[in-house]
Structure 1
Amino acid sequence: MPLIETSTERLLLRAWRDSDLPALVALNADAEVMRHFPAPLDAEQSAQLLARLRAHHEQHGFTFWALQRRDSGELIGFTGLAQVGFEAPFVPAVEIGWRLARAHWRQGYAGEAARAALAVAFEQLGLDEVVSFTVPANLPSQAVMRSIGMQRDEAGDFLHPRLPEGHPLQLHVLHRIRREQWEAGR
């Protein structure tokens, strides 16, 4: 399958390179960046994540792409699309997600990159729907979801199956956007 990449005025959403690993390790080791996840990732876990992202890209043509600033060339995180890899009532589905280094928060990069990823989802991949989910406390991520036209599906909220019963991050809120909603909002 051909590998898809995309870009915006300020950003490149591109395939991962071996040279991206140090920036990915730093991103995933930041406790503040990872506060809505079970724990920060160590270097080995980040290397495993990089391998999974690359494998997903090769298998599906898309992934959570490396997010690079055009002006500086700096890798600032990732944004993109992925097949949901666990069982839930809304699966099978493709999710949109993002993770940015703190120095790049509140500058509009997540929404800008997410809009480009949605364009790939609906224009190039021909998807009918994209989902996104996070913990209820992750208000910044939910704000990005709303800013790109996603709507909360309260009936779809779920307990993440990869977290143990009673884990404080087990409850996730679900957002969705259908192709028709995306087209109407363009």
Structure 2
Amino acid sequence: MEVLTGERVVVRAPAPGDGHALVEMATDARVRRYLGGPKDQVAAEVDAARKIGEARWGQFVIVDQAAGVVAGSGSVARKRGPLEISYHLRHAFWRRGLAGEAVALVRDWFFANTEDNELIATTQQANLASQRLLERLGAVQAGSFERYGRDGRTEGLMLLFDGGHLTPEQTSSIRLSSEELHIWAWSDPPQAEQRLSGLLARRIAVAFDARTSGVTAYLENGHR
């Protein structure tokens, strides 16, 4: 993505020196309120380094021209069919109109420089500020879906298969698809509790107990 310049913001690719701002946003519960919750420090630092190092198409940061610092970040990526724009700002830069200007710049660049005729954005129904921003920029509601939480979800049964222990040769042969997984790490139960949502962390902890005891565990919403 080329550098896009507006009245108050500059949109550009992530660069060395942006890491602090990226980590701050990823670990701030206020910023991540509608994005599945904050990440732990290690995961946030690894993710920031990846964004800066890979310079992947569609990744961008939002620079506040007046302050001369990174105020936010976002991406244009294919997550659920059509290309999708996502964005968020550091808490100190909220309610200044910077997000709207940045999204408008990226939107206009997208339609002028790609052959796609559709660009989508998603937000939680509770995130009224984001909905209003997108509507002001001309977006119209096309549908809804459930991503976080259990409201509207049917009951399900999850079964975990114990894959045993990996040999050093098997470990060294692991290859990840950058389109599916950005980062990964070996984690013991305490680390898993830090890196996963509460629901998944509880499931992992009980899975370890079940393997040790040999007793099947039945959970509802991650609780026995």
When the two structures are superposed, what TM-score results if normalisation uses the length of structure 1?
A: 0.73
Shift of 1:49: 2.9
Unaligned runs of 5+ in 2: 154-224
In structure 2, the residue matched to 1:22 is 20
Q: Does 1:37 align with 2:35?
A: yes
- Which consecutive residues of structure 1, in runs of 5 or more, have no partner in the other structure? 85-90, 171-186
- Find the counterpart in structure 2 of residue 181 from structure 1: none
Question: What is the match of residue 146 of structure 2?
Answer: 159
The structure having more radius of gyration, on CA atoms, is 2
Matching of residues 117-128 of structure 1 within 5 Å:
117-128=106-117
Identify the residue that residue 66 of structure 2 maps to in structure 1.
71
CA 1:56/1:32 → structure 2, altered by over 3 Å: closer, same or farther?
A: same
Looking at secondary structure, tell me which structure has more strand per residue.
1
- Asked if the contact 2:19/2:49 (under 8 Å) is kept, the reply is no
Normalising to structure 2: TM-score of the pair? 0.61
* 1:19–1:55 distance in 2 versus 1, CA, 3 Å: closer
8 Å CA contact 1:83, 1:94 repeated in 2:
yes
SS in 2 for 1:129: coil
Cα distance in 2, alignment partners of residues 131 and 168 from structure 1? 23
SS in 2 for 1:22: helix
Query: Number of residues paired by the alignment?
Result: 153
**Alpha-carbon distance change, 51 to 22 in structure 1, aligned in 2, over 3 angstroms:** closer
| Greater RCO (Cα-Cα under 8 Å, separation 6 or more) | 1
Aligned to 1:62: 58
SS in 2 for 1:159: coil
Q: Quick check: 2:19–2:48 contact (8 Å CA) kept in 1?
A: yes
